[in-house]
Structure 1
């Protein structure tokens, strides 16, 4: 490997080197302070649509102590080569091939979002080529709701409904209830929405292929054995903190931290909080016990994290109606509801299809839902959030529901008789 020694962030916008492994084209950039550097490099493997310039800050910081390599596999980042026949395991093996072709020492991958699955699989399948591993936004996709929403986005693309597709993806990656805490601006959301609505045919094919790889992935048969650091955004509802924690618990030697005030892309949204953890980790220095902006979770607590991120409440209107795409309707009873989903009950609900539903709540317009669990006791569902106005109306409805509940609680407490003060006398006299 011959490293470039003239790093400048502007180079990340358009330049890259190419390595062919069989028919597959890999794009990469490699930097160090010396053209020949025997030290283990940090290897960045980003999300499906993240480009090299997403890591300009990280490259500048890490070059002080490490060689740094940025890698785009087929259908990832700025690499436009389609590779529908490759699964996640095949792509992980391409990472190993890249290391062998360039005669690199064991690397330290940093995998984010979609790239986290590739980096983790690489570490499992090629442990002798992986020295340390850092993951954020772990996309294992074992959660039924996440899988159904991903399938829903593919169906929207198949039907040419780019508006619903884009809105659903944005509301999946960005927690719309927590933008004040995460600092994700409306402008950023609009830009992201517009980009998704205007994907080229090639980009649509890439999205379909990358999504299908995740859906076809049946889970990890083994977990990384090397030292591993896993970071999760506090408000990430796409790849949730408890999922990260369960993955960490299955690793042989993992440390886990929740980044406060962050969403799915914690390492970009809260760089200082992440830096204080991953910079020492990559240098094999013990992590600080107290980390401003981050909460380290001890191994004994990894499997005890709360799974539900949102408040569920009793609805203001219990009697609702379910509408199917074929025009049929069913009366139902709404038992509890939150922004991301709820629980309802109706006759024969366990035999109804899981998809193609709209939930009609009094004072709200129709809301798209998917059933994720059905039994004789009722059905748990998730909202698809494919329509911006409907999502906003639901958020307002829940806010009013909570305010109403608090007002009723206050009124009850105010008019309740005060408990008698104890005087030590016999109360029967």
Structure 2
């Protein structure tokens, strides 16, 4: 699942009268290496946190700067951590023989290196794949979990599209691949109203068209990795407060797939964000940031105007959540 993102790689900027709280003196970058592969993480520090540090693991097209547009809502609450894991962003190329468990262990390596013993974990699409494996293998490091646009199996649309997209990229038809990727990630306009649908589609296509050769090589390897190793293992999950959400018109990782994922986790809550599809965190930035912030600070996520009713897909395993 190669989640798209509108990557914010420019320096932090002022939006209106509210500065994005990621000024250089507040953020640091750490260059690390795990099993011989170099990678980089970004930390936006909060001196007076209201909750544990928030680790944001985005899709494979996202990088450690992709969440800057969310920082004005999230950074006042806690320290934020983003990362280009090996094989992604500006980090070293990672052969497809290295599986999802390797990436999950790389996350734990990062937290150990930067001295963060416990995090609130957010994973979006492919970030959920890595984040859940990290949580399964290192449950002591997770306080709460939030997953978005996620599933516990490879979507049929993705599995069918991978051979075509890989062939298109390998023959250098970047425009054709960009068009195919936009169709894969964005819902059909006739499915229902999606905020900023046309604008996000244009931005997404532009991002794919501007990929470097290094990014294309990593994208192909990413697809091979997922098809080869799969995205899910039925290992025990931490018994911590958990929320799963997606856009109500997500046609890649559908709401039913999100429910199925939530049902594998003790007492996980599930909801959909209205007027959004797979790119819910791009189309509805403020609302998705608010949902994440509420859950990570133990505020209720019931009755929010931008969400459908909250569900508990597996009530018999309900875990008391603060």
Q: 1:282 aligns with which of 293, 296, 305?
A: 296
Q: 2:264 aligns with which of 250, 253, 270?
A: 250
- Aligned-partner Cα distance in 1 for 2:50–2:117: 7
- Aligned-partner Cα distance in 2 for 1:65–1:266: 21
Cα shift readout 1:122-143 (whole Å, capped 9, x = no counterpart)? 1111111111111111154433
Contact 2:157 2:184 in 1 (8 A): no
For normalisation by structure 1, the TM-score amounts to 0.62
Unaligned segments of structure 2, at least 5 residues: 1-18, 316-322
Aligned counterparts, 1:154-193, within 5 A: 154-178=166-190, 181-193=193-205
Unaligned segments of structure 1, at least 5 residues: 1-5, 303-429
- Aligned-partner Cα distance in 1 for 2:312–2:209: 42
Contact 1:39 1:105 in 2 (8 A): no
Higher relative contact order (CA 8 A, sep 6+): 2
State the match for 1:293 in structure 2: 306
Deviation at 1:62, TM superposition (A): 2.4
For normalisation by structure 2, the TM-score amounts to 0.81
Contact 1:178 1:235 in 2 (8 A): no
Q: 1:19 aligns with which of 27, 32, 55?
A: 32
- Aligned-partner Cα distance in 1 for 2:283–2:200: 12
- Aligned-partner Cα distance in 2 for 1:198–1:54: 16
State the match for 1:73 in structure 2: 85
- Aligned-partner Cα distance in 1 for 2:198–2:45: 38
Does 1:212 pair with 2:243? no
Q: 1:153 aligns with which of 140, 165, 168?
A: 165
State the match for 2:94 in structure 1: 83
Contact 2:60 2:88 in 1 (8 A): yes
Report the count of equivalent residues: 293
Deviation at 1:173, TM superposition (A): 0.8
Deviation at 1:38, TM superposition (A): 11
Deviation at 1:187, TM superposition (A): 4.7
- Taking structure 1 as reference, are residues 38 and 166 closer, same or farther at Cα in structure 2, changes over 3 Å only? closer
Give the secondary structure class of the aligned counterpart of 2:308.
strand
Q: CA RMSD in A?
A: 2.9
Q: 1:260 aligns with which of 265, 271, 274?
A: 274
Whose radius of gyration is greater, 1 or 2?
Answer: 1
Give the secondary structure class of the aligned counterpart of 1:299.
coil
Contact 2:63 2:83 in 1 (8 A): no
- Taking structure 1 as reference, are residues 140 and 215 closer, same or farther at Cα in structure 2, changes over 3 Å only? farther
- Aligned-partner Cα distance in 1 for 2:56–2:290: 18
- Taking structure 1 as reference, are residues 234 and 108 closer, same or farther at Cα in structure 2, changes over 3 Å only? same
- Aligned-partner Cα distance in 2 for 1:153–1:177: 22
Cα shift readout 1:228-261 (whole Å, capped 9, x = no counterpart)? 1111111111111111110001111311111010
